[in-house]
Amino acid sequence: MNVLIVGGGGREHALAWKLLQSSNVEQVFCVPGNGGTALLPNCQNLPATEEDFASIANYAQEKAVSFVVVGPELPLTQGIRDALQRDNIPVFGPTQTATQIEASKWWAKSLMQEVGISTANGETFTDAAPAKAYISQQGTPIVVKADGLAAGKGVTVAETVEDAHHAIDALFAANTPQVVVEQCLTGQEVSVIAVTDGIAVRPLLPAQDYKRIGEGDTGGNTGGMGAYAPAPLMSSQLLKQVTDTILQPTINALRERGIDYQGVLYAGLMITPEGEPKVLEFNCRFGDPETQVILPLLETPLEEVITACLDKRLESLPPLQWLQKKALCVVATSAGYPGSYEKGKAIAGINQVKDALVFHAGTRLDAEQNLLTSGGRVLGATGLGDDFDQAADQAYSAIAQIHFSGCYYRSDIGYHVRYQS
């Protein structure tokens, strides 16, 4: 079969690489893809933007793809599933209505509060004055969030009432229509990414990502500077609890509301000091760079998992098989990211990497087939090992072999699980 992937980041390179390992998958097409997917055997980039649903539908038909996998949230929230479904093209991903679980934090929180899913208590506001009054009454620390998609930039964890009020003013000044103010949770964060056919739900291995630009989790938020899996914090017992008390009830509640949620349900969780999992956010897509550590550990062919979801027979799919190893991914960025950065820097050394997987993100090939930087997050190296130290050594050795002007990466990815012995 042929498959089309929408997106052009490290997550999509990992999806293409994983799908092509399956003997049933002959050819993968990426719209728009990146330098890594351009170089991947049996993979071809096709020129169009992620939001150009008409071109994507044409390509899907022309290339006779069996299904389309959508990486980023934007095309999903803009209704790519609904649009392609009108042409009978199967899409692994939720409908536009269902993507509100990520696109509106208040929609998601209301659903959780109605069903009794554990999450931070909160309120929503469309005006600054009542929001500020609520903050003064609740006290700090407190969390202020933009209701809509904000690429990780819409959240302030405020230590003082003044900071929280300032965050409210800043959001309304930026014409944010609605904000959510919620209780500040403490504990350790972990991501549980699950696949669902709208009836059953199967968690993949739990992962932890590193969102901040600076070492020791300091500085601005990014798309993700690294990740590791499986997160030991999430024991199999806790994962079962998350499945039974968070993931499955969410899918059931959506179904009861007539929403066919098929695709990926990603729960960003806080494990409180008491060991209780609480939902920080839901996403309607695979995580990036979590995908780059989860998929290399998945032994079950990904295309079998996806087709089970598309055919609504996930319940009867045999248990997912996992490699008994650890994976750790280190992301290299352009200087200046997550602020402004330069593009077009030559990338050298990738071919020297032997022991790690290199997933491209912001890279492109020029007319002479030179590999150049073209984004903030340029690439990630995933190492696999019997323990996290070994996985980290592989990832960091790979990153050290790769060169481009202004290359930056965090040297402490996985510090929660490294140096333990």
Note whether 377 and 222 are within 8 A (CB). Answer: yes
Whether 297 contacts 344, CB under 8 Å: no
Q: Is 147 in the site for ligand GLY (CB under 6 A)?
A: no
Using CB under 6 A as the binding rule, whether residue 297 contacts ligand AMP is answered as: no
Partner from ligand GLY, ligand AMP, none contacting 80, C-beta within 5 to 8 A by type: none
Q: Per CB under 6 A, does 268 bind ligand AMP?
A: yes
CA distances to 34, 157, 186, 385 from 373, in Å = 10, 33, 37, 28
Alpha-carbon distance of 339 to 381, in angstroms, equals 22
Of the candidates 165, 134, 127, 145, the one whose C-alpha atom is nearest the C-alpha of residue 282 is 145
Smallest distance from the beta carbon of 11 to ligand AMP, in angstroms? Answer: 17
User: Which residue, among 418, 416, 413, 415, has the nearest Cα to 398 in the 3D structure?
Assistant: 413
Q: Does 73 bind ligand AMP (CB under 6 A)?
A: no
Residues 224-243, one symbol each (x = binds ligand GLY by CB under 6 A, - = not), give: x-------------------
Among 184, 298, 335, 372, binds ligand AMP (CB under 6 A): 184
In the three-class reduction of DSSP (H, G, I as helix; E, B as strand; rest coil), residue 77 is classed as helix
Q: Is the CB of 172 or the CB of 286 nearer to ligand GLY?
A: 286
C-alpha to C-alpha distance for 261 and 81, rounded to whole angstroms: 11
DSSP string, 180-238: EEEEPP-SEEEEEEEEE-SS-EEE---BEE--EEETTTEEEE-S-SEEEES-TTS-HHH
Select from 33-41, 180-188, 293-301, 348-356 the region that touches ligand AMP (CB under 6 A): 180-188
Could you say which of 281, 290, 303, 389 contacts ligand AMP (CB under 6 A)? 281
Backbone conformation region of residue 238, classed left if phi is above 0, alpha if psi is from -120 to 50, else beta: alpha
Looking at the Cβ atoms of 120 and 347, the one nearer to ligand AMP is: 120
Report the C-alpha gap between 242 and 239 in whole angstroms. Answer: 5
Token representation of residue 234: 């999430």
Q: Does 287 bind ligand GLY (CB under 6 A)?
A: yes
Q: Give the nearer residue to ligand AMP in terms of CB position, either 101 or 399.
A: 101
Please answer whether residues 207 and 190 qualify as being in contact, where contact means their C-beta atoms are separated by less than 8 angstroms.
yes
- The tokens of 364 are what? 């492109």
Residue among 12 and 290 whose Cβ is closer to ligand GLY? 290
Q: How far is the CB of 163 from ligand GLY (least distance, A)?
A: 24
Q: Is 193 in the site for ligand AMP (CB under 6 A)?
A: no
Binding site partner of 224, from ligand GLY, ligand AMP, none, Cβ cut-off 5-8 A by kind = ligand GLY
Q: Is the peptide bond before 296 cis (omega within 30 degrees of 0)?
A: no
112 binds ligand AMP (CB under 6 A): no
Q: At its nearest, how many Å lie between ligand GLY and the CB of residue 296?
A: 16
Q: Does 12 participate in binding ligand GLY (rule CB under 6 A)?
A: no
Using CB distances below 5 to 8 A depending on partner kind, what does residue 157 bind out of ligand GLY, ligand AMP, none? ligand AMP
CB of 266 to ligand GLY, least distance (A): 7
Q: Among 270-278, 287-295, 333-341, 353-361, which window interacts with ligand GLY (CB under 6 A)?
A: 287-295
209 binds, among ligand GLY, ligand AMP, none (CB under 5 to 8 A by kind): ligand GLY
283 binds ligand GLY (CB under 6 A): yes
Could you tell me which residues are beta bridge partners of residue 365? Answer: 371
Q: Contact letters (x/-) for ligand GLY, 44-73, by CB under 6 A?
A: ------------------------------
Give the one residue of 12, 50, 147, 182 binding ligand AMP; rule: CB under 6 A. 182
Contacts of 381 (CB under 8 A, 6+ apart): 329, 330, 332, 353, 356, 357, 358, 359, 394, 395, 396, 398, 399, 402
Nearest residue to ligand AMP by CB is 281
Contact between 185 and ligand AMP by CB under 6 A: the answer reads yes
Verify binding: residue 102, ligand AMP, rule CB under 6 A. no
Q: Kindly state the smallest distance separating residue 327's Cβ from ligand GLY, in Å.
A: 15
Question: How far is Cα 34 from Cα 346, in angstroms, rounded to an integer?
Answer: 15
Q: Does 143 sit near ligand AMP (CB under 6 A)? A: yes
Choose among ligand GLY, ligand AMP, none what residue 155 binds, the Cβ cut-off being 5 to 8 Å by kind: ligand AMP
Q: Amino acid identity of 358?
A: V
CA distance 21 to 3: 13
Closest CA to 237 of 260, 206, 196: 206
